[in-house]
Structure 1
Amino acid sequence: MPRSRRSGDVVQARVLVAVGTDKHPFDRLIRWLVDWHRGVGEDVGLTVQHGHTRAPAVPGAVTFLSHDELQTAMAEADLVVCHAGPATILEARRQGHLPIVIPRDPARGEHVDDHQQLFARRLAAAGMVALAETREVVIEALTAGLANPIRFAVATDPEACEARRAAVEQVGRIVEDLVVASAGHRQRPRWRLWVRPDRNGERR
């Protein structure tokens, strides 16, 4: 949920960027964020969890966040930008965010298959994420979000959160079946959300 801001605050907004723990680099997303940040500078405070992507030359870059650290970063953020990891999306929504989601593209070496793209597009169609698959759309979403963070906020009551969790898992099962049906996929992707998160909050 967007934070209330005091007029005397030096940092006017906070943006969390999370790429998860996948071993593939996600240079494209990080490069877009770095380019965008040059234009906003000190007006925006960043936390960039870059994982196995080369550390960007921006303040707030960190390789990984523990589950508690990720929760704190999400609670303090005005906007959340992330890859299409199911647990990251779910946690962002639990914290009151409509996440800006950039799915990893296997054609660019960002993942082993296209299940993030399938998953993110299904969630976007259901209104559960703000899908951004190009640099232009990412910049437009960030600009709109900074101008009016409420556009990227969702309700956080417990019943709604549980319903969203069930919806995420249902879409995950649908995408899982789609991926298995695709040629060249020998193993089922791991969509189930585990009970215990790993050190970065991803249940993979």
Structure 2
Amino acid sequence: MSPSALTGDEPVDVVVTLGTDHHPFARLVAWVDAWAGAHPDRTCVVQHGTAPPPTHAEGHAVLDPAVIPGLMARARVVVGHAGPGTVLDARAAGRLPVVVPRLAAQGEVVDDHQVTFGRWMAARGQALCVEDEDALHRHLDAAVADPGAYAVERADGAPPAAVTLLGDLIDGVLAR
């Protein structure tokens, strides 16, 4: 795929963002790259951060923040770590994000807060939380087959439901 995929207007099958944490998330990059290797006819863009770059997908250590919303809007599916920025950005672009929580035991984050957050957002219909490679691959296949199933209404002016839910979560934590 040519570098123009970042700024063009053609659809992108899969967009993966890992946030800006300094911990590498090689596990997710490898899972997506394995799928990309099995689907060479599909467009897959991965912002891999400090993890090793993918070999089959188009990899970028860092994506220009100005490019991300348009890239996500053109994606059939957005995949990322289970961080609030990923969820909010994907939903603002009209995509139901598929999130994979970073795990402390794998050195991907300092604690397992992303497991709690990803499951919490999934229980509220704000994201799809997956925790194994097979489940991720099933979602990627499903999104390519039916991208409408991974679309959500874009927020125009009003805070997205995910923002309201995140605010409620933060208020609950602060109240304790």
Q: What TM-score do the two structures reach when normalised by structure 1? A: 0.75
- Whether the 8 Å contact between 2:19 and 2:85 is mirrored in structure 1 is no
- Whether the 8 Å contact between 1:20 and 1:83 is mirrored in structure 2 is yes
SS of the residue 2:50 aligns to: coil
Higher CA-based Rg: 1
For residues 33-182 of structure 1, the aligned pairs below 5 Å read: 33-42=32-41, 44-158=42-156, 161-174=159-172
Residue 87 of structure 1 and its aligned partner are, at CA, apart by 1.2
Deviates more, 1:163-172 or 1:119-128: 163-172
Q: Give the 3 Å change call, closer, same or farther, for CA 174–38 of structure 1 in structure 2.
A: farther
SS of the residue 1:79 aligns to: strand
Residue 16 of structure 1 and its aligned partner are, at CA, apart by 0.3
Q: Give the 3 Å change call, closer, same or farther, for CA 156–63 of structure 1 in structure 2.
A: same
Q: Give the 3 Å change call, closer, same or farther, for CA 140–109 of structure 1 in structure 2.
A: same
1:172-200 Cα shifts (integer Å, max 9, x gaps): 4546889xxxxxxxxxxxxxxxxxxxxxx
Distance 1:117 1:176 in 2: 20
Distance 2:24 2:69 in 1: 23
SS of the residue 1:78 aligns to: strand
Distance 2:169 2:53 in 1: 32
Structure 1 moving runs of 4+ over 4 Å: 172-178
**How many residues get paired?**
167
1:4-41 Cα shifts (integer Å, max 9, x gaps): xxxxxxx8752101111111111111111111111111
1:137-192 Cα shifts (integer Å, max 9, x gaps): 101111111111111111114266443311123234546889xxxxxxxxxxxxxx
- Whether the 8 Å contact between 2:82 and 2:102 is mirrored in structure 1 is yes
Runs of 5+ consecutive residues of structure 1 not aligned to the other structure: 1-10, 179-204
Distance 1:85 1:173 in 2: 17
- Whether the 8 Å contact between 2:100 and 2:129 is mirrored in structure 1 is yes
Q: Give the 3 Å change call, closer, same or farther, for CA 156–32 of structure 1 in structure 2.
A: same
Task: Give me the CA root mean square deviation.
Answer: 2.1
SS of the residue 1:21 aligns to: coil
- Whether the 8 Å contact between 1:50 and 1:62 is mirrored in structure 2 is yes
1:87-117 Cα shifts (integer Å, max 9, x gaps): 1210100111000000101011110011111
Distance 2:35 2:119 in 1: 24
Distance 2:11 2:83 in 1: 28
SS of the residue 2:43 aligns to: strand
